[in-house]
Protein backbone atom coordinates (compact mmCIF):
# COMPACT_ATOMS: atom_id res chain seq x y z
CA UNK A 1 0.00 0.00 0.00
CA UNK A 2 3.06 2.28 0.31
CA UNK A 3 3.08 3.16 -3.41
CA UNK A 4 -0.51 4.38 -3.46
CA UNK A 5 -0.80 8.17 -3.44
CA UNK A 6 -3.57 10.46 -2.33
CA UNK A 7 -4.25 11.17 -6.01
CA UNK A 8 -4.82 7.43 -6.54
CA UNK A 9 -7.24 7.36 -3.61
CA UNK A 10 -9.04 10.48 -4.84
CA UNK A 11 -9.46 8.94 -8.31
CA UNK A 12 -10.88 5.82 -6.68
CA UNK A 13 -13.35 7.76 -4.52
CA UNK A 14 -14.39 9.99 -7.44
CA UNK A 15 -15.03 6.85 -9.51
CA UNK A 16 -17.10 5.41 -6.66
CA UNK A 17 -19.19 8.61 -6.58
CA UNK A 18 -19.72 8.44 -10.34
CA UNK A 19 -20.93 4.83 -10.15
CA UNK A 20 -23.44 5.80 -7.46
CA UNK A 21 -24.69 8.85 -9.39
CA UNK A 22 -25.17 6.76 -12.53
CA UNK A 23 -26.97 4.01 -10.59
CA UNK A 24 -24.37 1.47 -11.67
CA UNK A 25 -24.77 -0.24 -8.32
CA UNK A 26 -23.63 -3.75 -9.37
CA UNK A 27 -20.34 -2.21 -10.54
CA UNK A 28 -20.17 -0.15 -7.34
CA UNK A 29 -20.61 -3.33 -5.30
CA UNK A 30 -17.55 -4.80 -7.00
CA UNK A 31 -15.46 -2.10 -5.30
CA UNK A 32 -15.97 -3.93 -2.00
CA UNK A 33 -14.01 -6.90 -0.67
CA UNK A 34 -15.77 -10.16 0.13
CA UNK A 35 -15.51 -9.39 3.86
CA UNK A 36 -16.59 -5.76 3.50
CA UNK A 37 -18.91 -3.85 5.79
CA UNK A 38 -20.89 -0.69 5.10
CA UNK A 39 -22.13 1.34 8.04
CA UNK A 40 -24.29 4.41 8.42
CA UNK A 41 -24.66 4.98 12.17
CA UNK A 42 -27.34 7.22 13.58
CA UNK A 43 -26.25 10.77 14.16
CA UNK A 44 -26.22 10.59 17.96
CA UNK A 45 -23.56 7.93 18.46
CA UNK A 46 -19.76 8.27 18.45
CA UNK A 47 -18.00 7.80 15.10
CA UNK A 48 -16.37 4.56 16.24
CA UNK A 49 -19.51 3.01 17.71
CA UNK A 50 -20.53 -0.55 16.98
CA UNK A 51 -23.83 -1.69 15.44
CA UNK A 52 -23.87 -4.45 18.06
CA UNK A 53 -24.68 -1.93 20.79
CA UNK A 54 -26.13 1.08 18.95
CA UNK A 55 -28.81 1.99 16.45
CA UNK A 56 -27.45 2.25 12.90
CA UNK A 57 -29.39 3.34 9.84
CA UNK A 58 -27.39 0.81 7.83
CA UNK A 59 -25.16 -2.00 9.09
CA UNK A 60 -24.51 -4.25 6.12
CA UNK A 61 -21.99 -6.97 5.60
CA UNK A 62 -21.10 -7.89 2.04
CA UNK A 63 -24.10 -10.25 1.67
CA UNK A 64 -26.60 -7.70 2.95
CA UNK A 65 -25.02 -5.02 0.80
CA UNK A 66 -25.44 -7.19 -2.29
CA UNK A 67 -29.09 -7.78 -1.37
CA UNK A 68 -29.55 -4.01 -0.95
CA UNK A 69 -28.13 -3.46 -4.43
CA UNK A 70 -30.38 -6.14 -5.95
CA UNK A 71 -33.45 -4.60 -4.30
CA UNK A 72 -32.59 -1.05 -5.36
CA UNK A 73 -32.21 -2.17 -8.97
CA UNK A 74 -35.74 -3.67 -9.10
CA UNK A 75 -38.93 -1.84 -9.94
CA UNK A 76 -40.41 -3.14 -6.70
CA UNK A 77 -38.13 -0.84 -4.71
CA UNK A 78 -40.87 1.77 -4.80
CA UNK A 79 -38.93 4.33 -2.75
CA UNK A 80 -36.33 4.43 -5.50
CA UNK A 81 -38.23 3.70 -8.68
CA UNK A 82 -37.92 5.70 -10.71
CA UNK A 83 -34.46 6.31 -9.32
CA UNK A 84 -33.65 9.50 -7.51
CA UNK A 85 -31.15 11.73 -9.21
CA UNK A 86 -28.10 12.08 -7.01
CA UNK A 87 -24.82 13.93 -7.01
CA UNK A 88 -22.11 12.66 -4.68
CA UNK A 89 -19.40 15.27 -4.07
CA UNK A 90 -16.17 14.16 -2.39
CA UNK A 91 -13.51 16.45 -0.94
CA UNK A 92 -10.87 16.82 1.76
CA UNK A 93 -9.47 13.36 1.07
CA UNK A 94 -6.79 12.43 3.56
CA UNK A 95 -4.83 9.25 4.10
CA UNK A 96 -4.97 8.85 7.87
CA UNK A 97 -2.74 5.80 8.12
CA UNK A 98 -1.16 3.27 5.84
CA UNK A 99 0.37 -0.14 6.47
CA UNK A 100 1.56 -2.86 4.11
CA UNK A 101 -1.94 -4.36 4.03
CA UNK A 102 -4.43 -1.58 4.61
CA UNK A 103 -5.03 2.14 4.36
CA UNK A 104 -7.36 4.31 6.43
CA UNK A 105 -8.83 7.21 4.50
CA UNK A 106 -11.14 10.06 5.48
CA UNK A 107 -13.13 12.22 3.08
CA UNK A 108 -15.85 14.82 3.40
CA UNK A 109 -18.98 14.39 1.33
CA UNK A 110 -22.13 16.14 0.26
CA UNK A 111 -24.82 14.13 -1.49
CA UNK A 112 -27.74 15.82 -3.17
CA UNK A 113 -30.79 13.74 -3.91
CA UNK A 114 -33.69 14.94 -6.04
CA UNK A 115 -36.96 13.08 -6.31
CA UNK A 116 -40.55 14.16 -6.80
CA UNK A 117 -39.62 17.84 -6.85
CA UNK A 118 -37.76 17.73 -3.54
CA UNK A 119 -34.01 18.01 -3.13
CA UNK A 120 -32.47 16.59 0.03
CA UNK A 121 -28.94 17.24 1.20
CA UNK A 122 -26.88 14.73 3.11
CA UNK A 123 -23.44 15.78 4.35
CA UNK A 124 -20.73 14.44 6.59
CA UNK A 125 -17.58 12.39 6.35
CA UNK A 126 -16.75 8.94 5.12
CA UNK A 127 -14.16 6.75 6.76
CA UNK A 128 -12.72 4.01 4.59
CA UNK A 129 -10.47 1.06 5.16
CA UNK A 130 -8.99 0.28 1.75
CA UNK A 131 -6.91 -2.66 0.60
CA UNK A 132 -5.10 -3.44 -2.63
CA UNK A 133 -6.20 -6.64 -4.37
CA UNK A 134 -4.87 -7.70 -7.73
CA UNK A 135 -3.40 -4.27 -8.31
CA UNK A 136 -6.55 -2.28 -7.58
CA UNK A 137 -8.05 -0.58 -4.55
CA UNK A 138 -11.05 -2.14 -2.86
CA UNK A 139 -13.18 -1.11 0.11
CA UNK A 140 -13.03 -3.28 3.22
CA UNK A 141 -15.07 -0.84 5.29
CA UNK A 142 -17.05 2.28 4.53
CA UNK A 143 -18.47 4.18 7.46
CA UNK A 144 -20.68 7.10 6.49
CA UNK A 145 -20.90 9.64 9.31
CA UNK A 146 -23.73 12.08 8.80
CA UNK A 147 -23.27 15.56 10.27
CA UNK A 148 -26.93 16.53 10.34
CA UNK A 149 -28.72 16.23 13.68
CA UNK A 150 -31.16 13.75 12.23
CA UNK A 151 -32.94 12.71 9.07
CA UNK A 152 -36.24 14.43 9.78
CA UNK A 153 -36.06 16.65 6.72
CA UNK A 154 -34.92 13.84 4.42
CA UNK A 155 -37.31 11.31 5.94
CA UNK A 156 -35.24 8.28 5.07
CA UNK A 157 -32.04 6.96 3.59
CA UNK A 158 -33.18 5.01 0.57
CA UNK A 159 -30.12 5.79 -1.51
CA UNK A 160 -26.55 4.72 -0.97
CA UNK A 161 -24.55 7.57 0.53
Average per-residue pLDDT for the chain: 91
Residue 99 falls within a domain, yes or no?
yes
Residue 160 falls within a domain, yes or no?
no
89/24 Cα distance (integer angstroms): 17
Q: Does the pLDDT value for residue 2 go beyond 80?
A: no
Residue 69 falls within a domain, yes or no?
yes
* Strand order, beta sheet including 32-41: 56-61, 32-41, 136-146, 118-133, 103-115, 85-98
Residue 161 falls within a domain, yes or no?
no
Question: Kind and range of the H or E element at 24?
Answer: none
141/78 Cα distance (integer angstroms): 28
Residue 103 falls within a domain, yes or no?
yes
The lowest-confidence range among 76-80, 96-100, 126-130, 139-143 is 76-80
Q: Does the pLDDT value for residue 10 go beyond 80?
A: yes
Q: Which CATH number does the domain housing residue 16 bear?
A: 3.10.450.50
Residue 92 falls within a domain, yes or no?
yes
Residue 68 falls within a domain, yes or no?
yes
pLDDT digits (tens, 9 = 90+) for 118-152: 898 999 999 999 999 988 999 999 999 999 877 66
Domain assignment of residue 110, given as a range: 6-146
Residue 41 falls within a domain, yes or no?
yes
Domain count, the chain: 1
pLDDT of residue 91: 98
- pTM summary value: 0.91
How do strand 32-41 and strand 103-115 relate by DSSP bridges? unpaired
Amino acid sequence: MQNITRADVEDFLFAEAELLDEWRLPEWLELFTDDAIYYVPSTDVPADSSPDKNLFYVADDRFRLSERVKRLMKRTAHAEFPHSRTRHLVSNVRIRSCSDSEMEVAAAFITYRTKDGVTDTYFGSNRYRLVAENGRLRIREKRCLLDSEGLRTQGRVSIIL
